[in-house]
Amino acid sequence: MSRHFSAIEIAEGALLADLAVLAQLVAVYLPPFDLAARLLIALIFAVLVLRRGLRVALLGAAVAGFIVSTLTGLTFALPLALTCGAGLFLGAAMRWRLPHLALIVLGMTGGGATVLALLVLLTLAAGLPLSSFARELANAYQGVAALAGWLAGLLGLGAWWREAARPPLDALAGWALQYWWAMFPLALWLSLAPVVVLMYTTTNMAARLLGYDVRPFPGARAERAMAWLARLPLRLRRRRAP
């Protein structure tokens, strides 16, 4: 038998959904704060899962998506949906106390599958063949190679780049583009590793600061090292002061 939402659950879900909408508007109109706004949105829905469960958090995410799509259009609702999904996943995983490695691998896999599916759907909706992925990847490689050649020339390594480094890289890139249908999802999956780790680290630390009993990540030693690095500029400034 389904359980009805209580008044406090609806009110709290709506309040946090409004905060997520404000953060999304900050990301839209103040691009320099986009990353901080995304991390805040993920934290909001992770906290909502920890406080009220996944059903209330899903309702809050739906409300936030509807408001943002009404105010700014579906173009900005899609990034919000991805960030909300990340927050819901992190909140549920921390509530169920999943091991760190399993959480990171599941986050990379789910995020990679979602982004890949969206890219495929948007490509087909635009009337383009999936082979256009290979063409775009080839153009991206040529751009990166040209930039690397320019930097090598500035460092006096232009001849080494043209004769020793570029030929094997071209051969490797040609092989990878031949099997782009397998290499592109793999590269997308690997590229999500730092994103998942960053979001998990910030969300986990913020949730513990708010008093929630979640499995600590990245751990006491890593957190002490991060705190030491964060205070390092202040200590150096004090030493330089007369």
Mean pLDDT of 174-186: 88
Distance (Å, rounded) from C-alpha 150 to C-alpha 87?
41
Q: Over the stretch 102-136, which tens digit does the pLDDT of each residue have?
A: 999 999 999 999 999 998 898 888 888 888 888 88
DSSP 169-235: HHHHHHHHHHTHHHHHHHHHHHHHHHHHHHHHHHHHHHHHHTT-----SS-HHHHHHHHHHHHHHHH
- Per domain, the residue ranges of the chain are 7-240
Q: Kindly report the CA angle at 154 between 152 and 158, in degrees rounded to 5?
A: 40
Structure-block tokens of residue 167: 């030929």
Q: Which pTM does this prediction carry?
A: 0.83
* Residues of the chain above pLDDT 90, percent: 50
From the number of C-beta atoms within 10 Å of its C-beta (0-12, 13-18, 19+), residue 61 rates as: buried
Q: Is the pLDDT of residue 240 over 70?
A: no
Q: Over the stretch 74-97, which tens digit does the pLDDT of each residue have?
A: 888 889 999 999 999 999 999 999
pLDDT at 2: 57
Distance (Å, rounded) from C-alpha 231 to C-alpha 126?
49
Please list, in sequence order, all residues whose beta carbon lies within 8 angstroms of the beta carbon of residue 167, skipping any fewer than 6 positions away.
Answer: none
Structure-block tokens of residue 27: 């990301």
pLDDT at 1: 45
Q: Is the pLDDT of residue 38 over 90?
A: yes
Query: Average pLDDT of the chain?
Result: 88
DSSP 111-165: HHHHHHHHHHHHHHHTT--TTHHHHHHHHHHHHHHHHHHHHHHHTT-HHHIIIII
Backbone angles phi, psi at 127, to 5 degrees: 80, 20
